[in-house]
Amino acid sequence: MNSNSKRLIWTLAILLVVAGAGSGLYFTGNLPLGAGEGVAMADTTGAEVAVEAEESDEPEVMAVPVELAQVEGRGIAAYYRAASVIEADRLVELVAKTTGRVSKVNVEEGDWVEEGQILAEMENDRERIQLRKADLTVADKERQLERNKSMLDEELISRQEYDDQASATKMAEAERDLAAIALEDTRIRASFAGRITERKVVPGQQLAIAAPAFTIGDFSPLRVRVHLPEAIARKVSAGQRVLVSPDAADKPLEAVVERIAPVVDPTTSTVRLTLLLDGEDDAARVGGFVKVRITTDEHHDALSIPKLALIEEGALRNVFVAEADTVRKVEIETGLYDETHVEVLEGLFAGDFVVTMGQGGLRTGTLIKSLNSEAVGYVGAEADLNRDPAEDDKTVTALNESK
């Protein structure tokens, strides 16, 4: 084989090796001419993977747990609250009528006494003797008058002598009555039936005239006096029931408005109400502090919501209304308030559900999860599908007509 043939064979072999290597580079994407396309494909695939990764890393929206209540008609009343103290029907201080030393005390604090019962007695030996002497004088004068009457009938004495004796007898009777009064002044008696609330004397104590000795109270009935603004007092009537809550009582007691003052106190612009309270309850004690709740207005079947649902922002009052699985913030107009509910005049319909707990993180469109759906009858998205706006309008109209 000559040199030309060998050169040709080596050239073909080299071409075959280069062609094979080029095919391999082409199919693996490493060929310089196909490098751009291969990189583009790699970048596209990487971007899709990155997008999928980004989507998978996005946090899942969590529903806010809340509690709901249904808007419904119920009786609601407005109240005015005041504070006062319990007063006895009569609370009287008994005093000494004369000067003297206390010799006997017959009662103690807390004792029940009858009208006229002797509570204490001062030394009265002198007054007893003077009364006995006056009794003897009267008896003597009466005997003389009787003899003079017989003598007058027999015309043994003149009419003038008989009249003088009659006058002397009457004077003796007057002296006896004064002696009896002096003796009675040494005794301190109960002026009415009641309970001794304070004893201020002890045996051996020297008393002056008008010195306080006992305090006696009549606790049936008890009274409470409160002062109301004139505008509020006009809404109250005599005979109206009122709730009175003593500090020591577990539950309120019932009282009745006994009378309403016909004038307004010019210094305070208030009207005094006197309430009558049964004095038989042990929780009601004279001098005890009480809170009074007086109904000033009342609406029957008023559209109302729990107070817990109300969000007050300055002069605005809002609530969150549940709609399917989200909420919507709604401004409302309110009417009467009581301890637990508030009347809704505008903004809601009967059958709406409002959020009563969990409002802190809510805004319009927030996803919610009701914790008491079964208890209140809330059915989520189905509620709006089954709702008939015409029925709501009829309900609100009926409620407004009933007020």
Bridge partners of 253, per DSSP, are 244
What does each C-alpha distance from 118 to 71, 102, 177, 203 come to in angstroms?
67, 13, 20, 14
Looking at residue 402, its pLDDT comes to 44
User: What is the spatial distance between Cα 304 and Cα 297, in angstroms, rounded to a whole number?
Assistant: 15
User: Minimal CA–CA distance to 67: which of 281, 353, 288, 264?
Assistant: 353
pLDDT of residue 21: 60
Q: Which residue has the tokens 């408005």?
A: 257
> Which option is the CATH number for 79-87+215-296: 3.90.1150.10, 3.30.70.100, 3.10.580.10, 2.40.30.170?
2.40.30.170
What residues have CB less than 8 Å from 319, skipping those under 6 apart?
Answer: 305, 309, 310, 311, 329, 330, 332, 347, 348, 354, 355
The pLDDT of residue 253 is 87
CB 198 within 8 A of CB 109: yes
Find where tokens 């006096």 sit: 225
Domain topology for 124-185: Helix Hairpins (1.10.287)
Residue boundaries of the structural domains of the chain: 66-77+300-402, 79-87+215-296, 97-120+190-210, 124-185
E strand or H helix at 26: helix 3-28
CATH topology (fold) of 66-77+300-402: 2.40.420
What's the pLDDT at 388?
Answer: 52
Q: What DSSP line would sit under 33-82, residue for residue?
A: GGHHHHHHHHHHHHHHHHHHHHHHHSPPPPPEEEEEEE-EEEEEEEEEEE
Q: Quick check: do 66-77+300-402 and 124-185 share a fold?
A: no
d(CA 101, CA 206): 4
- Cα dihedral sign, 184-188-191-195: negative
Q: For the chain of 403 residues, list the mean pLDDT of each consecutive stretch of 10.
A: 62 66 57 46 45 54 89 88 90 94 95 95 95 95 91 87 92 95 95 94 95 92 92 90 85 90 92 84 81 88 91 90 92 87 92 92 90 87 49 46 46
CA–CA distance, 160 with 166 (Å, rounded to integer)? 10
Residue pair 290/223 in contact (Cβ under 8 Å)? The answer is no
Residue labelled with tokens 């050239």 = 11
Contact 198, 119 (CB under 8 A): no
Whole-number pLDDT of residue 196:
95
